[in-house]
Chains A and B, each alone.
Chain A
Amino acid sequence: MDIYDILFWGLSVMAVGCALGIILSRNPVNSVLFLILTFFAISGHYILMNAQFLAIVNIIVYAGAIMVLFLFVIMLMNLNADVEPQKGQLVQLAGVISGGVLFLVVLAAIKSARPEVIDKTSTDIGLISNLGKVLFTKYVLPFEISSVLFLSAMIGAIVIGKKEHPNEFTKADQ
């Protein structure tokens, strides 16, 4: 057992423990905090795989921006255990089934994963220059298509979030 294994097991325990904390804690704010810790553990795994750039972007984007917005919504709605709506049995059953199906898919994905792909010795595979070169040569089409997808999602969010002017609609009808 070398330092790699120790870190791997430590991070794995942290990731799984925090992931359990997300679904087991009654207070939504605690769930969000556990989710942030999970992101940290996953970033640690990225660093173990020599993907430093991915690790820091994971922290900047998910832990630093998206989870802040999550917290925003939860804090403004002032959710807590008392006002949590109790779901009906049918909904609970549907939740269990869909969760189980997702678990099956994840399990299948893990089963087909090849852990030997990770090369512990090559320390420059995740550097930003290598990532950029691969992204803009080999995978340039998927990269651009996904950016178009993001753009359309952004426009959609703005359209939904925009204040409606009732006068404009009547004008358009006429």
Chain B
Amino acid sequence: MLLLQIDAAVLIEKGILITIILLGSLGIAMYATWGERKVAAIMQDRIGPNRAGPFGLFQPLADGLKLFFKEEIIPDRSTQLIFILGPCLAMLTATMTSAIIPWGPDYTTASGHIVKFQVADISIGILFVFGVVSLGVYGVMLGGWASNNKFSLLSSIRAASQAISYELAMGISLIALLMMTGTLSLREIVAQQHGFWNDGYFTWNFFRQPLGFIIFLTCAFAELNRAPFDLPECESELNMGYHQEYSSMKLGFYLFSEYINMFISSVIISTLFFGGYNFPFMDSVAAHVNPMIFTAICIMVLLAKAVGMILFFMFIRWTLPRFRYDQLMKLGWKSLIPLALVNMLITGVVLLWFTKK
């Protein structure tokens, strides 16, 4: 009796892909910490990390080693299991979203086997990302509560209410985009943005949904707890934030998961609004080069867009001051949600107008 029918080739292929994506996003997140310091230094007319290796390039490794070898302190009166669960959940949810991102176009090998550069093409697509993002708040909340510290608890409650508030506007702004694309699958959304120019207009969704993009981007800042929305880590009011009682690599995981989240959300924003792995004149490039090189170019284009987004996140962080908490809530509920609703309405009217003709 055959209990389970497993296609070993698919399993190996997906396993390799998952490993590469996981290691890649960890590596990029690691160097995002270095990049953030360099960007901050340049913007503040400093030099930044320059001791470990050339241009301070080994600084993230040194930091990681330091965090691993530090003494681990679990507060005496904390709820131990949940205290440990906190950073685990943060890392888990940070790395899970990369599963549905299409990293590149299909590549057909000489033997006719099609390699898909996407771990799972599920029918609910982008909703999966929303599900995981909405769970991401548990890592922060449970960690803050289990620390048994008033400041941590306040900070984690701030983080949770911020995340819930901005998720709404994010979802509504995305509905307008989904009304245009007519599909939830990221793979199809990217395929619709093929090239750069088609039928007398841009194919990229950024040019079709500029308002939706701005709302989505603002909400992404808030979901990532990045400045100017980094209120959960408001050190002037809350000492340090929800990870105040954490030490050693548990603290490291919290900080690291934020950088992974930033990378993944940069990729998702590039995929949704900036054409994913598509680039101008890609058809003529595809006609002239080897398909394997073309696939590599596509993946590099997506990564370049993501790095551009990460740099944008960093520029904003070192440019804008932090919001006050009531300003944050006012912006979320009284500005972004009505704006997203209006955007949805306009999109509906325009779609109806064009499809009627």
Which of A's residues lie within 8 Å of B, judged by CB? 1-3, 6, 27, 29, 33, 36, 52-53, 55-57, 59-60, 63-65, 68-69, 71-72, 75-76, 127-128
Q: A68-B138, A75-B145 are in contact. Are A56 and B127 (CB under 8 A)?
A: yes
Q: Are A65 and B184 in contact (CB under 8 A)?
A: no
Q: Tally B residues with Cβ within 8 Å of A.
A: 28
Contact of A3 among B4, B145, B167 (CB under 8 A): B4
Contact of A128 among B82, B137, B184 (CB under 8 A): B184
Q: How many contacts A-B (CB < 8 Å)?
A: 66
Q: Which residue of the partner chain A has the closest CB to B134?
A: A64
Assembled-state Cα–Cα distance A127/B122 (Å): 11
Given contacts A53-B124, A59-B131, A68-B138, 11 further A-B contacts (CB under 8 A): A1-B3, A29-B79, A33-B142, A36-B138, A57-B127, A60-B131, A64-B137, A71-B145, A75-B156, A76-B157, A128-B184
**Shortest CB–CB separation between residue A95 and chain B, in angstroms?**
28
**Shortest CB–CB separation between residue A68 and chain B, in angstroms?**
5
Contact with A along B100-142 (1 / 0, CB 8 A): 0000000000000000000000111001101101110110011
**Shortest CB–CB separation between residue B104 and chain A, in angstroms?**
25
What are some 7 contacts across the A-B interface (CB < 8 A)? A27-B79, A33-B142, A56-B127, A63-B134, A68-B164, A75-B157, A128-B123
Assembled-state Cα–Cα distance A69/B133 (Å): 16
Assembled-state Cα–Cα distance A75/B184 (Å): 36
Interface residues of B in 197-235 (CB under 8 A from A): none
**Shortest CB–CB separation between residue B148 and chain A, in angstroms?**
10
Contact of A56 among B131, B137, B145 (CB under 8 A): B131
Assembled-state Cα–Cα distance A49/B300 (Å): 39
Q: Are B164 and A65 in contact (CB under 8 A)?
A: yes
Q: Are B123 and A52 in contact (CB under 8 A)?
A: yes
| Chain A CB within 8 A of B302 CB | no
| Chain A CB within 8 A of B298 CB | no
Q: Are B135 and A128 in contact (CB under 8 A)?
A: no
Chain A contacts for B79, CB-based, 8 A:
27, 29
Assembled-state Cα–Cα distance A3/B161 (Å): 40
| Chain A CB within 8 A of B153 CB | yes
| Chain A CB within 8 A of B32 CB | no
**Shortest CB–CB separation between residue A162 and chain B, in angstroms?**
15
Assembled-state Cα–Cα distance A33/B142 (Å): 10
Q: Are B4 and A128 in contact (CB under 8 A)?
A: no
Q: Are A75 and B153 in contact (CB under 8 A)?
A: yes
Q: Are A71 and B141 in contact (CB under 8 A)?
A: yes
**Shortest CB–CB separation between residue B130 and chain A, in angstroms?**
5
| Chain A CB within 8 A of B94 CB | no
| Chain A CB within 8 A of B160 CB | yes
Contact of B82 among A3, A29, A59 (CB under 8 A): A29
Q: Are B82 and A68 in contact (CB under 8 A)?
A: no
Assembled-state Cα–Cα distance A34/B126 (Å): 27
Q: Are B134 and A52 in contact (CB under 8 A)?
A: no
Q: A65-B167, A72-B160 are in contact. Are A127 and B135 (CB under 8 A)?
A: no
8 shortest A-B CB distances, which residue pairs? A64-B134, A59-B131, A56-B127, A56-B124, A52-B124, A75-B145, A56-B131, A60-B131
Q: Are B135 and A63 in contact (CB under 8 A)?
A: yes
Chain A contacts for B153, CB-based, 8 A:
75
Q: A29-B82, A56-B131, A60-B131 are in contact. Are A127 and B123 (CB under 8 A)?
A: yes
Q: Which residue of the partner chain B has the closest CB to A74?
A: B145
Assembled-state Cα–Cα distance A70/B160 (Å): 12
Q: Which residue of the partner chain A has the closest CB to B145?
A: A75
Q: Are A59 and B124 in contact (CB under 8 A)?
A: no
Select the residue from B82, B122, B124, B145 with max chain A CB neighbours within 10 A. Answer: B124
Q: Are B157 and A60 in contact (CB under 8 A)?
A: no
Interface residues of B in 1-54 (CB under 8 A from A): 3-5
Assembled-state Cα–Cα distance A69/B165 (Å): 12
Q: Which residue of the partner chain B has the closest CB to A124?
A: B123
Q: A52-B123, A52-B124 are in contact. Are A72 and B131 (CB under 8 A)?
A: no
**Shortest CB–CB separation between residue B326 and chain A, in angstroms?**
15
Q: A29-B79, A65-B134 are in contact. Are A56 and B160 (CB under 8 A)?
A: no
Contact of B157 among A56, A65, A72 (CB under 8 A): A72
Chain A contacts for B5, CB-based, 8 A:
3
Chain B contacts for A128, CB-based, 8 A:
123-124, 184
